[in-house]
Structure 1
Amino acid sequence: MKILSLNQIRKADQYCMDYESISSTQLMERAAKGCFDWIIHHHQYFKLKKIPFIVLAGNGNNGGDGLFLSKMLHLYGASVFVYEMNISNHFSNDFLIQKNKILEHKINLKTIHEGDQFPFFNQDSYLIDAIFGIGFNREMNPYWKSFFDYINETKFKAIISIDIPSGLFLEKKHENFEGIIKATHTLSFQAPKLCFLLPNYADYVGKWYLINIGWNNDFLNKIKTQNYYIDHQLVLSIYKKKKRRKFSHKGDYGHGTIIGGRFGMIGSVALASSASFRTGIGKLSVYIPSCGYQIIQSVLPEAIVHTDVKDNWISNIVISHNNINAIGIGVGMGVHPQTVYAVESFFLNLLKINKKIPIVIDADAINILSSQSKLLELLPKEAIITPHPKEFQRLFGSWKNDYEKLLILKKMSIKYKIFIVLKGAHSVISTPNGDQYFNSTGNTGMATAGSGDVLTGIIMSLLSQGYSSKESCIMGVYLHGLAGDIASKKLSKEAIIANDIIKNIGEAYLKIKV
């Protein structure tokens, strides 16, 4: 799913109106009807009869959405109080059309002017925020900032923002976050907004949902963008390319290698390896310090185990490249001086061999890269690194805001011709051509020890099976997050451990196939 700019959103709206021969008013009412349907679906009828709605409507088209929604709620039997926010003297035509309909139905309507005393709001109400739309990009004066703060401080049953929380910029960076409505739910039209996927904005967007307003798919397919939201349809299209054949054998599904572990951290290798098998790899070798031999043989009898000459850390990575289809390196490895030297030698040797072996680099291998920055130049093209934010910062420096972070992410993936999976809520994949993909699955319960090791094993397994680096990243983060979502529904977010993610990879596959 494409993430569009403001200009592209407006073009998509216009094309929809032209293609279907409908007016802007009709498109507005379609959008508001979608919001109404969402509210009805999420709140039973008897609750709508009992809980009042307060609608704050600006003078533009976003306010028009709110006014038509108000009329629908009123006709449905809900108690509705509408406040026209007279922030400017400019009124859109569609707003005026909807205002006349409100007056015709004698719905409670009051106007708030700048300088007015703030009205008393019933805390047992749902607040509908339809003040500003996606085109808002300016600072507000102190009165309206204070009014928005007053809204945020009032303990409503819920605050539902239409399309985007009022005061939030769609594209412009915020110097500060004063004067933004803190929504509990955001009902956005057709496509996700980039700011919804960034950590700095989470407290303002709340839970967000997409309302289909009928954009034309042929037009959307022609729009060029570098930002994408990973959805089921995209992952299914990737999965279908590697459908299993009846007369196949384990050799058809790849032979991968996990390199990592140190004394006290062999579990990281066990998690990554187990995730690899659950994701469908045919054969798996592990390279670990000698202290981990019995552990891996006991917990993962399917794996082929190779050990370093050192008991407690890796000192010299000795693997055969001839029959290996992909490599995962770094989990639980540590940064012992001999390990650092072993990793340096490993990357040098990769350059010398004729065979291109896909690789995913995680954890301490990333930490070694950050301390030995010259190694970045040695990474094979289309290598995958999977840092969490602190590891990413150690590698490439700090940033002032989320937009600058995305810019650094893009620059580094282009510069080194690698894929970077920046882990977190809505993990973002940056590609060597500058495209960025934001994940749609996952939950806070996955913020637990070993979750990253599981992701490394999943991605390495997909690489081994012949998926490209790009496909492995996209499908890997989606599958990982989906398995975590399934686990959270069974156990609760608080109870998830990394092994629970692994146990639900199979069920995640079944959901992808649907």
Structure 2
Amino acid sequence: MFCASVEQMKSIDRRAITQYGIPGVVLMENAGRGVVTVIEKSFAVGRGAEVLVVCGVGNNGGDGMVVCRHLLRRGASPRCFLVGKKSRMKGDAKTNLHILEKCGIDVVEIEDRIPRQFTRSLGRSVLVVDALFGTGFRGKLKGCALEVVERINRSRLPVVSIDCPSGLNVDTGCVDGSCVEATATVTMCVPKVGLVFYPGRRWVGELWVVDIGVPEQAIAEEGMLTSLLESHDIHMPPRDPAGHKTTFGWVAIVAGSSGLTGAGAMASLACLRCGAGMATLCLPESLNAALEAKLTEVMTYPLPETDAKTLSLNALELMAPVLKKADVVAVGPGLSTHPETEQLVRSLIEKVDLPMVVDADGLNALSGKLRILRRRKAATILTPHPGEMARLTKMGVPEIMANKPGVATRFAGENRVTTVLKGAPTIIASPKGEVLINSTGSSALATAGSGDVLTGVIAGLLAQGLSSTDAAATGVFLHGLAGDIMAERRTEYGVIATDLLESIPEAIELVLGSERGFFEGGVRRVL
């Protein structure tokens, strides 16, 4: 599902109205009705139950007034408050104000102070609908709007925000001051970028999308390159029923050093767990006995080492028999930053013409040496976390975090690589400018070795014939879903990296059984 900026969404709305002839008041009606559908699905609002609806004077407020009318039709008892004067409402919002008043709903204005009716209604209500500010909001909440939002937050009532929580900058996901703490946010047509990135995602709650009747062609014509990954977007490589182990790919994993043996072990097993036919772990010779005992299904290949028990530069030539058979190379987990080992990594990336996944110390070896990447012809996937991206780009981590999609996209394009910028959420950027935002995962993945498992999953999928972007996207989604599965069983506190190896097959099973995400009753939950 595409993700839009504010300007892109405005352009889509204009196109639907001017080119496709859909009146704005129809889009507003569909929006409000969709919000009520979400309320019915997610909240217990019985007949006669009081619902507090707080509206602004713009189109977001108009949506709120449609919500009031449909709640009334369903037997609830909505109370509508307008922050501002009715005389400031225009167009479709003004039309819905007049309709609502003709239906017998009193719209109470809030200007200089909070009226007693608001306080009483807040105390009696079972739900609050936030229709104060929409996607155009910038800056800080002030005056009565600020007081209203703070009272709503203090009430601890469930809150449904229309399009976005009031106070949130929907382009950046940032909040300057106060913001509505929504239980659910119901956004229109497509998700907005700031709703799926932190810090904005903290205020969103559940994220629902409403189909307001904009034709798919009108959305496609916008040419958006940013999408939210969902299960039906994930493509597992096909399994030939007559295939054998070499049919499904051979991965060479160059990993491990003294004290960091687990990284290579987990990456190797993850390759096999996602369907690769064979995996060979290339490692320092002194570590071989321990890892041969630990890894039953993975082949090991001992190589010359430095005095620090890390791979030496001589290892590259002796690795040739494995590289001749391998379909993909994964390099980096647990290698160390020993100068000779870093030199080996750079030589491997530069001289070996195989698809490659580079992670961890493999990335550290590339700092200041990115020209190596630009000379590669085979597919290359890099999987940095923000700290590693900072070392690669010479940017500060705060600067990266403030614009993760932009940083990842620019890096991917300049260096001709698929970039997996890890975090919450993880972003996949292709060299062609496509940006995919992952929708799975949680703090359960914030554990040592989790990234090594991800490296192995992506390499295993790449070895089975997926393109670099598809392998990265599928790997990130499965990895996050595996974490979600284990978090359900062991909580987000209790998951460790080897747990992910257990749940990857279950994650694959869920993806294989998923269907395209249709809008049921015109609405669909995406986060």
Indicate whether the TM-score tops 0.5: yes
Matched pairs, number: 501
Match of 2:309 in 1: 312
Match of 1:284 in 2: 279
Paired residue type of 2:345:
V
Q: Please state if 1:58 is matched with 2:59.
A: no
- Quote how far apart the aligned CAs of 1:308 are: 2.3
Matched position secondary structure for 1:384: strand
Q: Report the TM-score when normalising by structure 1.
A: 0.89
Give secondary structure in 2 for the equivalent of 1:191: coil
Equivalent residue letter for 1:106: G
The 1:288–1:226 alpha-carbon spacing in structure 2 relative to 1, beyond 3 Å, is same
Partner of 1:366: 363
Structure 1 residue identity aligned to 2:107: L
**Match of 2:508?**
509
User: For residues 484 and 101 of structure 2, what CA distance do their matches in structure 1 show?
Assistant: 46
Letter matched to residue 385 of structure 1: L
SS of 1:369's equivalent?
Answer: coil
Instruction: Give the deviation of 1:220 after TM superposition.
Output: 3.1
TM-score normalised according to structure 2 size? 0.87
> Does 2:343 match 1:341?
yes
- Larger mean Cα displacement after TM superposition, 15-24 or 87-96: 15-24
1:353 is aligned to none
Deviation at 1:19, TM superposition (A): 8.8
* Contact 2:83 2:145 survives alignment (8 Å): no
Partner SS for 1:110: strand
Partner in structure 2 of residue 207 of structure 1: 206
- 2-side partners of 1:115 and 1:49: how far apart? 28
- The Cα shift of 1:20 comes to 8.2
In structure 2, distance between residues paired with 1:393 and 1:191:
31
Q: 1:439 to 1:141 in 2, by over 3 A?
A: closer
Counting only pairs closer than 5 Å after superposition, residues 24-173 of structure 1 correspond to structure 2 as: 24-46=24-46, 52-86=50-84, 89-114=87-112, 119-120=118-119, 121-122=122-123, 125-137=126-138, 139=139, 142-144=142-144, 146-147=146-147, 150-151=150-151, 153-171=153-171
CA distance, structure 1, for counterparts of residue 84 and residue 483 of structure 2 = 46
Ranges in structure 1 where 5+ consecutive residues have no aligned partner? 351-355
Identity of aligned residues (%): 28
How far the C-alpha of 1:163 sits from its partner, in A, is 0.7
Is the contact made by 2:172 and 2:194 (CA closer than 8 Å) also made in structure 1?
no
Supply the distance in 1 between the matched residues of 2:284 and 2:338 (Cα, whole angstroms): 12
> Does residue 288 of structure 2 align to residue 263 of structure 1?
no
Task: Report the CA distance between 1:227 and its aligned residue.
Answer: 1.3
Q: Deviations over 1:346-367 (max 9, x none)?
A: 23433xxxxx311111111112
Which piece of structure 1 moves more, 455-464 or 472-481? 472-481
Question: For 1:132-174, what per-residue CA distance to the aligned partner results, in whole angstroms no more than 9, with x for missing partners?
Answer: 222334x457425632552465232222210112233333786
Root-mean-square deviation (Å): 2.8
Superimposed CA distance per residue, residues 197-235 of structure 1 (whole angstroms, 9 cap, x where no aligned partner) = 222323332332222223322333343122122222321
User: Which residue in 1 is equivalent to 2:329?
Assistant: 327
Tell me the equivalent position of 2:520. none
What pairs with 1:96-495 in structure 2 (closer than 5 Å)? 96-114=94-112, 119-120=118-119, 121-122=122-123, 125-137=126-138, 139=139, 142-144=142-144, 146-147=146-147, 150-151=150-151, 153-171=153-171, 177-235=176-234, 238-239=235-236, 242-310=237-305, 312-316=309-313, 317-318=315-316, 319-320=319-320, 321-350=323-352, 356-370=353-367, 375=372, 382-396=379-393, 397-398=395-396, 399-400=398-399, 402-495=401-494
Contact 1:2 1:228 in 2 (8 A): yes
Quickly say closer, same or farther: Cα 1:188–1:141, change in 2 above 3 A. closer
Q: Residue 384 and residue 81 in structure 1: after superposition, are their counterparts in 2 closer, same or farther (change >3 A)?
A: same
Amino acid at match of 1:334: S
Deviations 1:97-145 (A, max 9, x none): 32233323433531101455685342864221101222334x4574256
Contact 1:126 1:156 in 2 (8 A): no
**SS across alignment from 2:440:** coil
C-alpha distance in 1 between matches for 2:502 and 2:255:
22
- Summarize the Cα distance change of 1:431–1:87 in structure 2 as closer, same or farther, 3 Å threshold: farther
How far the C-alpha of 1:375 sits from its partner, in A, is 5.0
Task: Summarize the Cα distance change of 1:294–1:209 in structure 2 as closer, same or farther, 3 Å threshold.
Answer: farther
Contact in 1 for aligned 2:45/2:126 (Cα 8 Å): no
Q: Kindly provide the CA deviation profile for residues 469-493 of structure 1, in whole angstroms up to 9, marking residues without a partner as x.
A: 1111111111111222222223322
Q: Contact 1:86/1:114 (CA < 8 Å) preserved in 2?
A: no
Cα gap change, 1:221/1:141 in structure 2, threshold over 3 Å: closer, same or farther?
Answer: closer
